[in-house]
Amino acid sequence: MSQAIVGIIMGSQSDLRIMKEAAEVLDDLKVAYDLTIVSAHRTPLRMVDYAQHAKAKGLKVIIAGAGGAAHLPGMVASITTLPVIGVPVKSSNSIDGWDSVLSILQMPSGVPVATVALDGARNAGILAAQIIATSDSALFSRLESFKQSLQNKVEEAASQLESKGWRQSLH
Ligand code: RP5
C-alpha cells in the first residue's frame, strides 16, 4: 500500500456508513488514503494532533465528515493549511440534516471548508482526487475516463428511452 495522500476522518463510527463512499471512490481512482475516527467534541486533543501532523505525514487533502453540531471539518481547517472538504452527515442527532450542512458550510472569512451535499461523501472523494490530479497527470487521465463513463451512462439511457419508449423503459 502506498503512502496515504488523502486523510478521511469522521466524528463517530456511526458516520462510516456514509464516509465509506469517499474511500470506495478513492479505491476506484487508485488514490491512497487513510481513514479514522476523530471527534471534535469527544476527542478534541486528538483532533488538534491529527490536524497539526497531517501535512508532515504526507496528506495533501483532508475529508472530514460529521453530523449534528458538525464542528470537525471547520476546526480541522482552522488548524491546518491543507484543503479540507466537509461532508455533512445526516446522523442520529441531526434535526433534519440542515444543522450539519450549516455547521460545515457557514465558515468565517479566511477559513474555508469545501462543503459537499448532505451525505455527499462520494463527491468529497472525487473532489479530493481532482485536487490531487492538478499535479498528477496519471490520476487526471483516470478522472477524465471516469467523467466519460458518466456521460456514456446517460447517453445509453437516453438512447434506450428514445428507442423503447418511456413505458418499456420503466421495467
Ligand atoms: C457527531 O455526532 C458525529 O459525527 C455523528 O455524526 C453524530 C452522532 O455520533 P454518535 O452518537 O453516533 O457517536 O459528532
Q: What is the mean pLDDT of residues 62-73?
A: 98
Q: How confident is the model at residue 171 (pLDDT cuts 50, 70, 90)?
A: confident
Q: Is the CB of 94 under 6 A from ligand 1?
A: no
- Averaged confidence pLDDT in the chain: 97
Q: Which atom of ligand 1 is nearest to the CA of 41?
A: 14
d(CA 164, CA 117): 34
Q: For residue 62, is pLDDT > 90?
A: yes
Q: What is the mean pLDDT of residues 56-64?
A: 98
Q: Is the CB of 91 under 6 A from ligand 1?
A: yes
Q: For residue 93, is pLDDT > 70?
A: yes
pTM over 0.75: yes
Q: Which atom of ligand 1 is nearest to the CA of 71?
A: 14
**pLDDT value of position 170:** 87
d(CA 87, CA 104): 8
d(CA 48, CA 42): 12
C-alpha 145 to ligand 1 mean position (Å): 36
d(CA 75, CA 80): 9
Q: Is the CB of 93 under 6 A from ligand 1?
A: yes
What order of strands is seen across the sheet that includes strand 84-89? 33-37, 6-10, 61-67, 84-89, 114-115
Q: Which fold has domain 6-135?
A: Rossmann fold (3.40.50)
Q: How many helices (H) and strands (E) does the chain have?
A: 7, 5
**pLDDT value of position 169:** 87
C-alpha 117 to ligand 1 mean position (Å): 18
**pLDDT value of position 109:** 98
Q: How confident is the model at residue 94 (pLDDT cuts 50, 70, 90)?
A: very high
Tell me the three cell numbers of residue 47: 483532533
Q: How confident is the model at residue 141 (pLDDT cuts 50, 70, 90)?
A: very high
C-alpha 137 to ligand 1 mean position (Å): 37
Q: For residue 88, is pLDDT > 90?
A: yes
- Taking only the tens place, the pLDDT of each residue in 100-132 is 999 999 999 999 999 999 999 999 999 999 999
Percent of the chain whose pLDDT exceeds 70: 99
C-alpha 84 to ligand 1 mean position (Å): 19
Q: How confident is the model at residue 1 (pLDDT cuts 50, 70, 90)?
A: low
Pocket residue to mutate for ligand 1, from 71, 92, 100, most atoms within 8 A of Cβ = 92
Long-range contacts of range 17-21, CB-CB < 8 Å, 24 or more positions apart?
A: 18/65, 18/87, 18/89, 18/90, 18/119, 18/121, 19/63, 19/65, 19/87, 19/89, 19/121, 20/121, 21/121, 21/122, 21/125
Q: Is the CB of 151 under 6 A from ligand 1?
A: no
